[in-house]
Amino acid sequence: MDLNSKIYVAGSRGLVGSAIVRKLKKLGYKNILEKTSEELDLRNQSSVENFFDTERPEYVFLAAAKVGGILANNILPAEFIYNNLMIEANVIHSAHKYKASKLLFLGSSCIYPKYATQPLKEEYLLTGELESTNEPYAIAKIAGIKLCQAYRRQYGDNFISVMPTNLYGINDNFNLDNSHVLPALMRKFHEAKLSGTPSVSVWGSGKPRREFLYVEDLADACCFLMQHYNDGEIVNIGTGVDITIAELAAMIAEITGFTGEIIYDTTKPDGTPIKRLDVSKINRLGWYARTSLKAGVEKTYQWFSKEGLMLCRRI
């Protein structure tokens, strides 16, 4: 990419897409295409093709997706598989048809088998059973990877796929019905502090281990890979460091100022016991995560305390 390249960021209002837009602007890129879901429904093939035909983006960051936590995945499996399949198929095919120079597809660490050896290496894809609580989403993301690889193999398209670990940061989703664990805990602890609620309930046992990546670091990695990586094999993006959900809850409670009791609801599912990415591949390419979990959570809470609260009032 050069600074005048036409760059389309699909999903530019979401957690990942908005971070990529901020990073591109910070780097000096001036020709960034953004469309809201109201302006362009990526599930609609003809609308997507018309957009690509008109705009002819040279570079595409495919960050648009239907996302959510365990609860949302459990109650809306059809929506998760359908919406994600449609979005990625339409964008990837149109990027091919209208000759985009390069496309970067954002997958997810949930593509890996539930009981795979830790840390999760890229070659573990499709070597075992998936975690049942988010299987539809994972299958859709695996299909996106295979689409990119198929278009590369058949047509020579420079389409790459990256697998980020659990993400958090500015513009995260704090809806308690469909958010991921970190923003959900942040909202729960913040509201409990304000209301004087003596305890907060956390799903599961608190024992599962998870890795978390600040979304600004992910955006930096995506821009780095768009410039420096041109291979069809997937690339993990993460910190390589994990933490138990109980440790995460204690950290967020401290940062938000909640001093009450944390109760673990063991009637709720834990999900995968441990999930940590092997990030040696991207490290060898020259990229490393820069933001510690505590620093990232503190930055996210500073944003949430101001702008995020207004979003919650509309949820």
Question: In the prediction, which pLDDT does 309 show?
Answer: 63
Which sequence spans correspond to the domains of the chain?
7-313
Question: In the prediction, which pLDDT does 315 show?
Answer: 44
Residue type, 32: I
Annotated binding-site residue numbers for substrate: 188, 203, 210, 270
Question: In the prediction, which pLDDT does 171 show?
Answer: 93
Tokens 């302006």, located at residue: 39
Active site residue 8: no
Question: In the prediction, which pLDDT does 308 show?
Answer: 65
Burial of 310 (0-12, 13-18, 19+ CB in 10 A): exposed
- Going by C-alpha positions, the residue among 85, 168, 84, 135 that lies closest to residue 272 is 135
* CATH number of 7-313, picked from 3.30.70.270, 3.40.50.720, 1.10.3720.10, 3.30.70.600: 3.40.50.720
What is the signed CA dihedral for 299, 166, 100, 226, rounded to 10 degrees?
70
- Give the strand pairing for 209-214 and 242-244: antiparallel
d(CA 153, CA 91): 18
Q: What is the mean pLDDT of each run of 10 residues along the chain (315 residues)?
A: 96 96 97 96 98 98 87 85 97 98 96 94 97 92 98 98 97 85 95 96 96 98 98 98 98 98 94 92 98 98 83 51
Question: In the prediction, which pLDDT does 68 show?
Answer: 77
Annotated binding-site residue numbers: 11-17, 106-109, 141, 164-167, 180, 188, 203, 210, 270
CB-based contact 289:241 (threshold 8 Å): no
* Secondary element (H or E) of residue 224: helix 215-228
Instruction: Determine which one of 137, 168, 214, 301 is catalytic.
Output: 137
pTM equals 0.94
Question: In the prediction, which pLDDT does 310 show?
Answer: 63
Annotated binding-site residue numbers for NADP(+): 11-17, 106-109, 141, 164-167, 180
